[in-house]
Amino acid sequence: MPIRTIAPALGKGVYHKVRKGETIWRIAQAYRVSIDDIIKINKIPNVANVEQNQLLFIPGADSVKEILLTQEDLNKSEFAWPLKGKVISYFGERRGLESNKGIGIQANLGENVRASREGRVVFADHLSGYGYTVIIDHQDGYYSVYANNAALLAKVGDFVLKGAPIAQVGKRENLTALHFEIRKHSLADNPLYYLP
């Protein structure tokens, strides 16, 4: 979904032109500002990420930074989609009395779910309200959660590389989809802000 950045009532800061492969998460890290500050001041909707050539106002920054992504960065530290598919439910949408803490990605029954980033499996079992679930600790305060699975391929204690198969997609309420979350210090955040 193309989005347009609206010029905020400016204080101190700079405009950053998004380059191919950059995410809100990576940009926030480079400028040492919070993702929430970038999202709020640029009025980025809950269902969108940034696109190449989009201008983002970075509050508090003194100068524009060049974000260098090495192949190692891409292989290890950047989040990747756990599978290919259409996003069918979004972070923050109401689900009964609760808000969605992740995104739903439509997939084929039994399709492999892959680790979004390398890390250690800290949970691999049935979780109430989530079904069969894998949780990976990325060892930097970030966790990824993969729920609604038919089968678990990873075990607690496994160190998994980015892209390694960890589960297989299941079916719930006549819907075949993966429920995917990214958590920072156990608090859910919008996965679309981290995914390329």
Q: Is residue 61 part of a domain?
A: yes
Do 192 and 104 contact (CB within 8 A), yes or no?
no
Shared domain check, 85 and 40: no
CA 58 – CA 131 distance, rounded (Å): 39
Q: Is residue 155 part of a domain?
A: yes
CA 179 – CA 166 distance, rounded (Å): 14
Q: Count structural domains, the chain.
A: 2
DSSP output for 143-177: EEEEEEEEEE---TT-EE-TT-EEEEE-EETTEEE
> What's at 162, amino acid-wise?
K
Cα distances (Å, whole numbers) of residue 50 to 44, 75, 117:
8, 20, 20
CATH number where 115 lies: 2.70.70.10
Element (H, E) at 41: helix 35-42
Q: Is residue 4 part of a domain?
A: no
pLDDT of 70: 66
Shared domain check, 137 and 175: yes
> What's at 189, amino acid-wise?
D
pLDDT in tens, the chain (196 residues): 444 444 445 578 999 998 887 888 888 888 989 888 888 888 887 656 778 888 999 998 888 888 776 666 666 668 999 999 999 999 888 777 788 899 999 999 999 999 999 999 999 999 998 999 999 999 889 999 999 999 999 999 999 999 999 999 999 878 899 999 999 888 999 999 888 8
Question: Which tokens sit at 188?
Answer: 């859910």
Q: Is residue 32 part of a domain?
A: yes
Residue position matching structure tokens 């201008």: 55
The Cα diameter of the chain in Å comes to 51
Domain extent for 98:
80-193
Instruction: Tell me the three state secondary structure of residue 104.
Output: strand
CA 43 – CA 37 distance, rounded (Å): 10
pTM assigned to the model: 0.74
| Phi and psi angles of residue 57, each rounded to the nearest 5 degrees, phi first | -80, 130
